[in-house]
Amino acid sequence: MLKLAILGFLYDRPLHGYQLRRHLAALTGHVRPISDGTLYPAIKRLEADGLLVRETEPGTAAAPRHTLHLTGAGRTALLDQLREPEPLDISDENRWFTLLAFLRQLDDPAAQAVVLRRRLAFLAEPASFFYDGDRPLGAEEFADPFRRGLLLIARATSEAELAWLHATLAELEGALTD
Amino acid sequence: MLKLAILGFLYDRPLHGYQLRRHLAALTGHVRPISDGTLYPAIKRLEADGLLVRETEPGTAAAPRHTLHLTGAGRTALLDQLREPEPLDISDENRWFTLLAFLRQLDDPAAQAVVLRRRLAFLAEPASFFYDGDRPLGAEEFADPFRRGLLLIARATSEAELAWLHATLAELEGALTD
DNA sequence: CCGTGATACCTCGATTGCGAGGTATGGTCT
DNA sequence: AGACCATACCTCGCAATCGAGGTATCACGG
């Protein structure tokens, strides 16, 4: 997840760790900045895998800045992850939204394929939540306002996404048949 | 997260591990069942902490079933986590939704306090996402349909939740002033 | 001139989670 | 009889993440 996001941001332009942290904070909702203890080891992992290189700028600011650049392997790794041939797990919202943030890096047919897979996984999703014994409960059966809230919010999100999926697929269809 | 969910489900009734797994799968969206390698160690942790006890039913089925019961400490631990005095981090959706699923176990004033804190955190959330250099970008500035989608979906979710928050607070207010 | 906060980076231990493997039993289908 | 699946539980090692700590430099206000 973090790996995907780091590669995605660096694809646009080289950044140093601190800028990267700000970008990541924005992506995750502006509230939970990825902690340093998560970010810097992740950068090291990517460096060890040869997906990025650091260029040290001495004397620029207080601490020695390390500007991070994607390597060719890094760019390939990002595009591979975006294309992701396996079916897209709907319950992994974080992964999907991160993917969405960088999907424009793919060409139209590849992006379309990803969006189509998402719609497929989406439509296959069973709508039930919670059980009474072994019987799944429908949304209307909840006396509990909190669980009802959970379902209402989940539904609103689903509907918004489905609407967007359709609009975007139509748009891509248009672009591809021109 | 898992801990909260396990305590929450066992609060209603004792279950054995397999049933628990089904409940958890439903909560996480019916698609990504918590893996065994996650669930059973989590149960052991809770047992070691004295929050639950297992009662073995021999000969019931194929394998020896362990019916899991919350202890008094387990019930207290759940209620404490639900009350959670620290401000509720909005970006941690999973935690919030799990909490919501079991919030009815609190009495009305305590639940109201939690919902109020959520609304507070919610209204304090800055609406911007992504940067161009150091300048945060508004929703309308995106030529990229994928990032626009991200924002559209996030907004729909926010609005649905805010509407629910208001409705529920009004409801609780009514119940408390009667 | 001293404290505070922002910038910038790093490490360590502990926890959490996953995937892949394993062990059984009992029922159903062929 | 054999294959196969669902039930039911378990362990191991690996990877990711967090939280709390640390080290600097520079800018600004009092």
Q: Which of residues 120-149 of B touch A (CB under 8 A)?
A: 121, 125-126, 128-131, 136, 144-147, 149
Q: Of A87-91, A119-123, A148-152, B37-41, where does mean pLDDT reach its minimum?
A: A87-91
Residue type at position B20: L
Residues of B in contact with A29 (CB under 8 A): 90-91, 125, 154
Of A131 and A173, the one with more pLDDT: A173
| Residue A152 scores a pLDDT above 70 | yes
A72: nearest Cα among A16, A7, A9: A7
| pLDDT digit string, tens, across residues B142-157 | 778 998 888 888 888 8
| Residue B32 pLDDT grade (very low, low, confident, very high; cuts 50, 70, 90) | low
| Residue B62 scores a pLDDT above 60 | no
Q: Is the CB of B11 under 7 A from strand D?
A: no
> If you ran DSSP here, which 8-state letter would residue A53 be given?
E
Tokens 């918004």 belong to residue? A160
Q: How far is the CA of A73 from the C1' of D25 (A)?
A: 34
Q: Is the CB of B65 under 7 A from strand D?
A: yes
Pairwise CA distance, residues A120 & A117, whole Å: 5
| pLDDT digit string, tens, across residues B6-18 | 999 999 989 888 8
Q: Of A44-58, A60-74, B30-44, B129-143, where does mean pLDDT reach its minimum?
A: B129-143
| Residue A164 pLDDT grade (very low, low, confident, very high; cuts 50, 70, 90) | very high
CA atoms within 13 A on the CB side of B154: 27
Residues of A in contact with B131 (CB under 8 A): 22-23, 26
A177: nearest Cα among A84, A112, A82: A112
| pLDDT digit string, tens, across residues A23-38 | 888 786 655 678 889 9
| Residue A88 scores a pLDDT above 70 | no
Nucleotides of D under 7 A from a protein CB: 6-13, 16-26
| Coil, helix or strand at residue B125 | coil
Q: Is the CB of A24 under 7 A from strand C?
A: no
Q: Answer whether B27 sits within 8 Å of A104, measured CB to CB.
A: no
Of B162 and A30, the one with more pLDDT: B162
- Beta-carbon pairs below 8 A across chains A and B: 125
Q: Of A76-80, B40-44, B150-154, where does mean pLDDT reach its minimum?
A: B150-154
How many percent of chain B have pLDDT more than 70?
Answer: 76
Predicted pLDDT at B138: 63
Predicted pLDDT at A60: 52
Q: Is the CB of A62 under 7 A from strand D?
A: yes
B89: nearest Cα among B122, B44, B53, B136: B122
In this complex, the nucleotide whose C1' atom is nearest to the CA atom of residue A64 is: C8
Q: How far is the CA of B50 from the C1' of C10 (A)?
A: 38
Residues of A in contact with B92 (CB under 8 A): 32
CB atoms within 10 A of CB A57: 12
Predicted pLDDT at B45: 93
Predicted pLDDT at A40: 93
| pLDDT digit string, tens, across residues A104-150 | 999 999 999 999 988 888 787 655 566 665 565 666 667 788 988 88
Task: Compute the Cα dihedral for A51, A55, A56, A57 and give only its sign.
Answer: negative
Of B85 and A114, the one with more pLDDT: A114
Predicted pLDDT at B136: 60
Q: Which of residues 33-52 of B touch strand C (CB under 7 A)?
A: 34-38, 41-42, 45
Q: Which of residues 32-91 of A touch B (CB under 8 A)?
A: 32, 89-91
Predicted pLDDT at B152: 87
| Residue B65 pLDDT grade (very low, low, confident, very high; cuts 50, 70, 90) | confident
Nearest Cβ partner for B100 among A30, A90, A150: A150
The residues near A148 (Cβ < 8 Å, ≥ 6 apart) are: A139, A142
* Mean of all residue pLDDT scores within chain A: 82
Of A106 and A16, the one with more pLDDT: A106
